[in-house]
Amino acid sequence: NAGVTQTPKFQVLKTGQSMTLQCAQDMNHNSMYWYRQDPGMGLRLIYYSASEGTTDKGEVPNGYNVSRLNKREFSLRLESAAPSQTSVYFCASSAYMGDSSYNEQFFGPGTRLTVL
């Protein structure tokens, strides 16, 4: 099993350009997440999807959109990139299904994005 995969691994954009980060998992997980990691700030949740067809905002959703294409895939789109979006982006998934289950999340390798 590949676990959680992300593409691309690295990307450089100019201010105003758009791009989509792709994420896929092969663990049959219901929940998927997008985080950004900035130095000294831990991971901050951008958007998450509790199941196919649903998405919700996290802590820092401004400037991003997401699509839960099917159970396996969850993409993150930057419509008009800004230098403040320079970060490392991680996708994660978990088997979380509700209050009776726990939310151990498994992470992809990350995408290192620079916006000039």
Partner 1 sequence: ELKVEQNPLFLSMQEGKNYTIYCNYSTTSDRLYWYRQDPGKSLESLFVLLSNGAVKQEGRLMASLDTKARLSTLHITAAVHDLSATYFCAVDAYGNKLVFGAGTILRVKS
Binding site for partner 1 (CB under 8 A): 31, 40-45, 48, 50, 56, 58, 90, 92, 96, 98-99, 102-110
CB of 49 vs partner 1, minimal distance in Å: 9
Between 19 and 50, name the residue whose CB sits nearer to partner 1: 50
Listed residue (20, 22, 15, 10) closest to 81, CA to CA:
15
User: φ and ψ at 83, to 5 degrees?
Assistant: -55, -30
Listed residue (85, 84, 89) closest to 112, CA to CA:
89
Q: What is the DSSP letter of 84?
A: G
CB of 58 vs partner 1, minimal distance in Å: 7
Buried b (16+ CB within 10 A) or exposed e, 1-25: eeebebeeeebebeeeeeeebbbbb
CB of 72 vs partner 1, minimal distance in Å: 18
Between 87 and 105, name the residue whose CB sits nearer to partner 1: 105
Q: How many CB atoms lie within 10 A of CB 44?
A: 14
Between 86 and 107, name the residue whose CB sits nearer to partner 1: 107
Between 15 and 101, name the residue whose CB sits nearer to partner 1: 101
CB of 7 vs partner 1, minimal distance in Å: 14
